[in-house]
Each structure stands twice: as C-alpha cells, then as structure tokens.
Homo-oligomer: A and B are copies of this chain.
Amino acid sequence: MGVVIPLEDSKNKQASVKPLVDLTKADMERVNQLILSKAGSDVQMIPEVANHLISSGGKRLRPMLTLASASMFGFTGDAHVKLATSVEFMHTATLLHDDVVDESDLRRGKSTARMIWGNQASVLVGDFLLGQAFRMMVDVGSLEALDVLSTAASVIAEGEVLQLSVAKNMETTEDDYLSVIRAKTAALFAAAAEVGPIVAKTDKASRNALKSYGMNLGLAFQLVDDVLDYGGKAADLGKNVGDDFREGKITLPVILSYRRGTADERSFWREAIEGGKSDDQNLEKALGLITRYGGLSDTIARAQHYGTIARDALAPLPQSPWKAALLEVIDFCIERVS
C-alpha cells in the first residue's frame, strides 16, 4: 500500500530534519529537561501518563520551530525554551484528548494512554499539562506570546469540534476540510513559529513571515499525514492504516475521490463513511477508488502548494543556517510520504 510520488519541484532529493535537529540540539536538551520537570507531580499517575506519551518518540517538531524562530534572530536566554516546552505540552494535551475523542487504541506504535490508564486519566492529565503550559507562558511574562498561544488553544479546540461536526458527512467540501486542519493542526505550528520572533523582539514583518511559514507548513504536514493514513505501513507510522476510514473521518483523499466518482461510487462512500460499513473489504475498495481518482497524489500536490507558500514566506529573511534548516523541513514533511 506504499505510495511513491515523484517530487518534481523538489531541489532536495533527500530532505531531512537533521539540520534543524543539530542546530537546536543544545536548547532541545533544556526543553527535554523542562518537560520532565514540569510533567512531574506528587500525584504519581501524572508523570506516568505524561511520560508514556512524551517518551514515545515524537519528532518534537513544534518546539524545534519555536527554538529556531527565536534563535535565528540572535535570541539567547530561556524564554524560548519555556515557550517551546509550553507548545509541546499543548500538543501533548491535545493528543491525550484526541485519543479519548477518537477512541484510538494505538499511537506511534504504542498503546494509547487511555488504553492503559483509562479515558479518565487521559482527560485529566491533558488538562494538567495544559495548565502547566500556561504557567510556563506566564512565567515568560510576554503578553504578546500569551495572546498568540492562548488564541491557538481556543482555535485548536474549535477545530476539533468542527471536525466532530463534519465527521461522517460526505458533503464536506475541501474548504470545510481546510478550515478543520487550519484550526486543529496549522494554528499550533503557526503559533510555535510566531512566538520566537516575539521573544526575540524582532520587527513585525519577520514575525508575520514566521507565522505564515508555520501556518502553511502545518497545512502541508496535515495533508501528508492524511495521505499516510491511507498509504503508509502501520509499523512505520505507529498507527493503523485506514484508521481515518474506520472512524468515518473525512479527509482530502476521500473528498476528492467522492466528488470525482460515479453515482454508484458515491453511494459506496456514503455507506462506508456515513453508514459505518468500514470493514477491511470496504477499506480495500476505498483504496482502489482513491488510487483511481488520484486522491493521494492530488492531496500531495495540495501539500506542495502550501509548502511553496511556506517557502516564499521566509524568502525576504536573510540567508542563514537557521533559515536553510527551516526550508528543508518543508520538503522533509512532504517527502515523508514517498
């Protein structure tokens, strides 16, 4: 079920996150220390649940964005480390709540926290991490950064509810879908990248450049994620292929295949997604239709579109290893799928 797409526009055949990892290495060690310390509690279940997810091998792309977007303007200090940790906690809290909402049993190849400790602990430890995230932001003391991140928290939750509203509705348009992923995923990427220039006290144009970079990178990232759900291998991804299909989640590969299909095929989609007939046989059929109508390759083309916007957003900034690393991350996010 692997998908190979020729990346014709890519100048970088083997794009990697490594330059960004290397540049942020020292600060990420401080972030990791702070994560351990702020996920600590005398209430034993809190670090247990939090560390289960925290140690499960996520890439920590979002906190690296915050670190890089402050450091590229010469910022040194600890505000960016605290904000990067806040961003990661906001993300972790969202994952804990998402697993409850989606009734997922697997994330990144491991049992979800809710399967081990129950829905109750997942909801409440998520709330705790969100509270700790806000305390760290307050500790930094920048009302501008607080404004950006608290707005992101509202927007993310709003996006998740919107996703719930459009779930199992085959009439969802590409625009509806974009509204969902802009809110539930891209808003945090944008906020993570915007708070760097804020603490670095740089000019408004640079702040907007990083915000736009983060937003469009986030859109590309989520589009590719939604392709991977139909095209990757569960072991590689640490999740089950076809999870979105089984949950009746409407993502772009499905929207495109539905709209481009025949009346009979549209009936199939409605029965599968709205009617819940999502067994393995129907998943096979869905994958066939998605392939026939270019649902994956055209979703990747959309991702490349947003990737290009992210690249252009950074164009006016002076060349630097930081900028080069951030640009390479765009290709890395899109090439994950090949």
* A residues neighboring B (CB under 8 Å): 41, 43-46, 97, 100-101, 119-121, 123-125, 127-128, 130-132, 134-135, 137-138, 141, 143, 146-147, 150-151, 153-158, 160-162, 164-165
Contact = CB atoms under 8 A, between A and B. Distances in A.
Given A130-B130, A146-B138, A161 B121 contact: yes
Given A97-B127, A128-B154, 17 more contacts: A44-B165, A46-B161, A97-B123, A100-B100, A124-B161, A128-B157, A128-B158, A131-B154, A131-B156, A134-B134, A134-B150, A134-B153, A135-B150, A135-B151, A135-B154, A138-B147, A143-B143
Contacts of A157: 124-125, 127-128, 130-131
A97 B119 contact: no
Contacts of A121: 161, 164
Number of copies: 2
Max count, chain B CB within 10 A of own CB: residue among A97, A121, A124, A138: A124
Max count, chain B CB within 10 A of own CB: residue among A97, A138, A165: A138
A124 to B, nearest CB: 5
A132 B154 contact: yes
Contacts of A151: 131, 135
12 contacts: A41-B161, A100-B123, A121-B164, A125-B161, A127-B153, A127-B156, A128-B157, A130-B153, A131-B156, A138-B146, A138-B147, A138-B150
